[in-house]
A = this chain, B = another copy of it.
Amino acid sequence: MTTTMKDVARRAGVDVSTVSLAMNNDPRIRMETRARILTVATELGYRKNLLARGLRSGKSFTIGAVVGSATPFWAEALAGAQSVLSDHDYHLILDYAPDAGRREETQIEALTAKRVDGLLIAPPDSEALDSDSETLRRYRSLKEQKVPFVFLDRFIPGVDADAVAVDDFAAACQATEYLIAQKHRRIAYLYPPHRMNTAQRDRREGYRQTMESHGVEPLFWATTKPGNDRREEAWEETRNRLNESESSGVTAILAATDSMAVGVLRALHESSVRVPEQMALIGCGGAAFAEYLQPPLSAVALPIRELGAQAARLLLLRIEGDVAPPKRVLLPTQLIIRGSC
């Protein structure tokens, strides 16, 4: 058996309620008494039971996080969230949600069963979230059950909830503006058309609007074949495009993600297209390795860590009872010019 408050109480010659108060630093307990209780507790190796506390107080000090996969992106975002949460004595329960292999008792339900105090959710990438979809219904049900949650980096149009996202629209604008200012006209936008989320859509839209506002025609390079990863898709697509006559005259490529830019770089290198002389390139993301590519990759850096941190802060506010209407926070991005353009 593990030691309980009862054991401590008996040994210290006080009541369990006194032990409880002492443990929580309640000012009503005399310093002297508390000291004695604390001593006894250490002697007995007492460890408080947060399950019991949670059951009794209706608060678990645990947050559930549901993200798609274990990418560096999410790792960093969750690290940002965790650093904020741990400052407030909350823990993070992780739940990767690969689209395939969905179980009967779904992940969110399992998390709420553990009585998490709130959820951080990155909705799955999907264009086809019809209004009666399973996913949608689940988010709505969360709202009804009054479980606080915040969308991470993307959101579901039909669900009115807090969301923290990188300003993807502005990110694409910044990059496009820069390329145009550099006198580029034929600027291609390389992106993955399948399973697009709001983030990807915003980027594409930022590119499109910026191009059009300058009277330049957008040039969309949507990847055609899904590959093993974004790098591979971008690599293949770029190779194909370089051989098309339609692509002649393209002097700059804006890639929807850092990973894609890496694939582009490889294709360009293999075709002996010099960067930046013959082709300028900008990525999106701000991955640390970008600086170390050949040439160093220019990119729009996204404040990923801050994304998680802000979402956590917003969630904590909700948990503390904030009832303001749902917020949608957009985090500013930063264009970092390196050797690739």
Q: Does A71 contact B (CB under 8 A)?
A: yes
Bound complex: CA of A291 vs CA of B232, how far in Å?
A: 10
Write the chain B residue with the least CB distance to A95: B91
Query: Which A residues from 268 to 294 make CB contacts under 8 A with B?
Result: 269, 288-289, 291-294
Residues of chain B within 8 A of A38, CB atoms compared: none
Write the chain B residue with the least CB distance to A89: B110
CB distance from A50 to the nearest CB of B (A): 5
Q: Is the interface of A mostly helix, strand, loop or mixed?
A: helix
Bound complex: CA of A113 vs CA of B72, how far in Å?
A: 30
Residue of B47, B49, B76, B93 touching A62 (CB-CB under 8 A): B93
A70 touches B75 (CB 8 A): yes
Q: What 1/0 mask marks residues of chain A from 102 to 116 whose CB sits below 8 Å from any chain B CB?
A: 000001011111110
Q: Does A181 contact B (CB under 8 A)?
A: no
Bound complex: CA of A83 vs CA of B97, how far in Å?
A: 10
Bound complex: CA of A60 vs CA of B55, how far in Å?
A: 12
Write the chain B residue with the least CB distance to A262: B292
CB distance from A1 to the nearest CB of B (A): 10
Bound complex: CA of A327 vs CA of B70, how far in Å?
A: 27
Instruction: Kindly name the residue among A2, A51, A69 whose own CB sees the greatest number of chain B CB atoms within 10 A.
Output: A51
30 contacts between A and B (CB under 8 A): A47-B109, A48-B113, A49-B55, A49-B113, A49-B115, A50-B115, A51-B51, A51-B54, A51-B115, A62-B93, A69-B79, A70-B75, A70-B79, A72-B75, A79-B96, A91-B93, A92-B94, A93-B93, A93-B94, A229-B288, A231-B288, A231-B291, A235-B292, A259-B289, A265-B292, A265-B294, A266-B292, A269-B294, A293-B293, A294-B294
